[in-house]
Chain A
Amino acid sequence: MSSTYLGMPAFPEAAAAATRDERLRANLRHATHTIRDRRAKAVAELEDWAELRAAGAALKNRVLRHLDHYLEQVEEKVTAAGGVVHWAADAAEANRIVTELVRATGEREVVKVKSMATQEIGLNEALEREGIRCYETDLAELIVQLGDDLPSHILVPAIHRNRSEIRDIFRERMASWGRAAPEGLTDSPAQLTDAARLHLREKFLRARVGISGANFLVADTGTAVVVESEGNGRMCLTLPETLISVVGIEKIVPSRRDLEVYLQLLPRSSTAERMNPYTSMWTGTTDGDGPSTFHLVLLDNGRTDTLADPVGRQALRCIRCSACLNVCPVYERAGGHAYGSPYPGPIGAILTPQLRGTSTALDASLPYASSLCGACYEVCPVAIDIPEVLLHLRERVVQGGRVTVRGRRRTVRPARGHTSERAVLRAAQWVLDRPGALRAAQRLASRTRGLHPRRLPGPGRAWTDSRELPRVPSEPFRDWWRRTRGGAQESPGRGSRAGTSGASGDDRGQEER
């Protein structure tokens, strides 16, 4: 992914810094709560939402199960319609292909439709290194680009910025990228969008190469689909002579009819609109209409490896609506940058460690960037059980296991930094599986409760730095039960042992170990 994310600290540190940024917190809170409430209303309007959601998941599952077949179909149809299909195994290959394609046109500038796939591979930076300038044309993406910033949200990359910050960025930076911001620009939304419109228009009219992603690729026709709100996409997809679309291999839907499902699920989940303002579809090239040259770069970059994992593969159903970000209480406090990739929030926490692996401290920390509250799963329009995948990836981090890397099965070792945690949990398990030992530990805690510090040392500090500890009671429940019920209560079928088995600590004879 983009080199600019390299060297970022693990999630907890980056997130902790974000929680101290009052302005960021306020911006994010306001933005996510507004869109969250609107989404809930838009979804509630449809009586058949549950069925749509099930269909959205089922269709993608079908595509994933037969991905080889559908990919070949896409290649065949796009080629027949006058497009050129390229296959990119990873980010470097995709960047190389696109760079060469742009070079071949002789152009030094391209206009871009907002696209997650090109963010993922760091295409802008790759082109920049070859002296080709990419102009982002989505409003929020433009704000990020002008501000020399990183996106922090899938749909609204500049969600961390408020109006006055945007005005300042426009005033200070627009001139060095093209048409300057108008004199006396205020932070009214109308003026800001006007300034962006004027700034972008000259780029649309000048550009001869457009770069995009696609929300969907229809297999049986070879049609690419871009869904957007601002109309910048329509400009980029129709005005240039050459169009290059970089699309993840999981973006396929079997047939045109299936768009019916996703064109309902996506806008309502994403922008809370009944229908998005612009839906552009194109099939190869058409004489005298739109770009005369169309290149489709099909991007793998870890997707096939992800597909090999029976639990994790559901992440490939994602249609990048960002509903999970907008309801996520962790995202709301941590902000998007802490996730260290263009995919922030819950989907980032399950996608990035699969696409990139869990070998860096940052990537290994992502599956833990969740309280497992389940709000993401509840809103996901393709029913990705994000908590389930998080738990699965946590297991990979602490226990290691079998993974697929570039098509090869490999065993990964547990990530570093979990040694003491492992020891503590193992000890806890030992105690918890021996009621006698548990009772002894509880009694010790009760007996020494006057001595317990109110602030803990070591890892316990993470609790007591911000929260009081509960007082340890004078008597655990077990002892109260024995005292008041006299141990007369039996375990069924083994009543005679009930009084002693717990205390002896060796009640493991009956276990099927």
Chain B
Amino acid sequence: MRVALFITCVNDTLYPATGRAVVTLLERLGVQVHFPEEQSCCGQPHFNTGYRHQTEPLVRRYARVFAEYDYVVTPSGSCAAMVRDHHPQVARRARKEGRELSPAAAQQAADRTYELTEFLVDVLGVTDVGAWFPHRVTYHPTCHGLRMLGLGDRPRQLLENVRGLELLELEGAQECCGFGGTFALKNSAVSTAMGKDKARSVEATGAQAVCTVDNSCGMHIGGLLARRGSTVRPVHIAEILASTADAPYAEAAV
């Protein structure tokens, strides 16, 4: 089983701790992780803003870079959704419009792409990864994870099996946090209003950390919490699952 990590550009640049956690976690579970260095971005910022044509080289790159792996694991719900739902479609339309991009290759890469919790639960068949995280945590199911990927209760199952972790119910959990990529900039007032409501619900749980499967949503919620002077931190689920009694989670040294 050849497993590649698709780190995503946001995690690579801003949240390397999440990537390190994925590697640590998968290696602990006996999976050898590969990291093809020619990977970059799934093209979501371009695609979601309307620049479909600019997405095409990134779709081509993704299919090529990951062509020879059995599984591509990514710690981002929205990037997994982009690859799975949109890459094949971008390729099909490019071909229809006369630009060379292989729909079959895009589809193949899409079929092998798994969001981290899917890979753990569906492919490895584990819900208890032997983690230890002695903190109060609330879980925010991000929209792409919830509605596009249909992650269901996979993340919860994983969290419920973490020793020491107290999982607190988040009111209005299914409501969007307001990030939405360039939406956060183009409609920043509405985005902020949505995020503030989310931040308030998070604080009301009494949790110390808000867990997501997507650091971009975490960046938005966390940015608002920090501006409010809150001590609640966004934490990616990979970092919780990688944490053990021997090597406990340490907030990324900055």
Contact B50 A391 (CB under 8 A): yes
Measured between beta carbons, the chain B residues less than 8 angstroms from A470 are: 14-15, 219, 222-223
| A-contacting residues, B72-119, CB 8 Å | 100-102
CB–CB A425/B49 < 8 A: yes
Given contacts A15-B190, A330-B187, 8 further A-B contacts (CB under 8 A): A329-B176, A373-B143, A435-B38, A463-B184, A466-B227, A467-B192, A470-B219, A476-B12
Within 8 A of B (CB), among A71-99: none
Task: Please name 15 pairs of A and B residues whose Cβ atoms are closer than 8 Å in the assembled complex, sorted by A.
Answer: A19-B189, A371-B179, A371-B180, A374-B147, A375-B175, A399-B51, A428-B46, A429-B46, A438-B40, A468-B226, A477-B13, A485-B35, A491-B36, A502-B37, A510-B64
Asked if B65 lies at the interface with its beta carbon under 8 angstroms from chain A, I say yes
Tell me the B30-78 residues at the A interface (CB within 8 Å): 34-41, 43, 45-54, 57-58, 60-61, 64-65, 68-69
Contacts of A489 in B (CB 8 A): 34-37
Whether A468 lies near B178 (C-beta < 8 A) is no
Residues of A within 8 Å of B53, CB to CB, are 399
Q: From residue 186 to 241 of chain B, which have CB atoms closer than 8 A to chain A?
A: 186-196, 219-220, 222-224, 226-227
A-facing mask of B138-165, CB < 8 A → 1, else 0? 0000011001100000000000000000
CA distance A16 to B19 in the complex (A): 36
Docked Cα-Cα span, A391 to B52, in Å, equals: 9
Give the interface centre of B45, B58, B183 by most chain A CB atoms within 10 Å.
Answer: B183
The answer, yes or no, to whether B245 is at the interface (CB within 8 Å) is no
Residues of A474-501 contacting chain B, CB below 8 A: 474-478, 480-482, 485, 487, 489-493, 498, 501
Judge if B127 is at the interface, Cβ distance under 8 Å: no
Q: Is the interface of A mostly helix, strand, loop or mixed?
A: helix
- B254 with A480: CB separation less than 8 A: no
**Is the contact region of chain B dominated by helix, strand, or loop, or is it mixed?**
helix
CA distance A466 to B41 in the complex (A): 27
Chain B: CB-nearest residue to A328 = B176
Contact string against B for A residues 225-259, beta-carbon threshold 8 Å, 1 for contact and 0 otherwise: 00000000000000000000000000000000000
- Give every chain B residue within 8 A of A478 (Cβ-Cβ): 7, 12, 37
Pairwise interchain contact B37-A429, C-beta atoms closer than 8 A: no
Does B244 belong to the interface (CB within 8 Å)? no
* Chain A CB within 8 A of B124 CB: no
Q: Report whether A473 and B14 are in contact in the complex, using a CB–CB cutoff of 8 Å.
A: yes
A50 close to B (CB within 8 Å): no
Would you give the shortest CB distance from A461 to chain B, in whole angstroms? 9
Does B51 contact A373, Cβ atoms closer than 8 Å? Answer: no
Distance (whole angstroms) from the CB of B222 to the closest CB of chain A: 7
B45 touches A428 (CB 8 A): yes
CA distance A491 to B38 in the complex (A): 8
Cβ 8 A contact of B176, one of A375, A433, A469: A375
Contact of A473 among B61, B185, B191, B252 (CB under 8 A): B252
Using Cβ atoms and an 8 Å threshold, which residues of chain B touch A445?
Answer: 13
Partner of A466 from B43, B65, B224 at Cβ < 8 Å:
B224
Q: CA separation between A313 and B222, bound complex, in Å?
A: 39
Give Cα A462–Cα B53 distance, bound, in whole angstroms: 26
Closest chain-B Cβ to A141's Cβ sits at a distance in Å of 27
A130 contacts the other chain (Cβ, under 8 Å)? Answer: no
A393–B147 CA distance with the chains assembled, in angstroms: 21
Nearest-neighbour CB distance to chain A for B175, whole angstroms, equals: 6
Q: How far is the CB of B176 from chain A (nearest CB, A)?
A: 4
Interface contact A465-B188, CB-CB below 8 Å: yes
**In the complex where A19-B193, A463-B184, A466-B188 touch, is A472 in contact with B14 (Cβ < 8 A)?**
yes
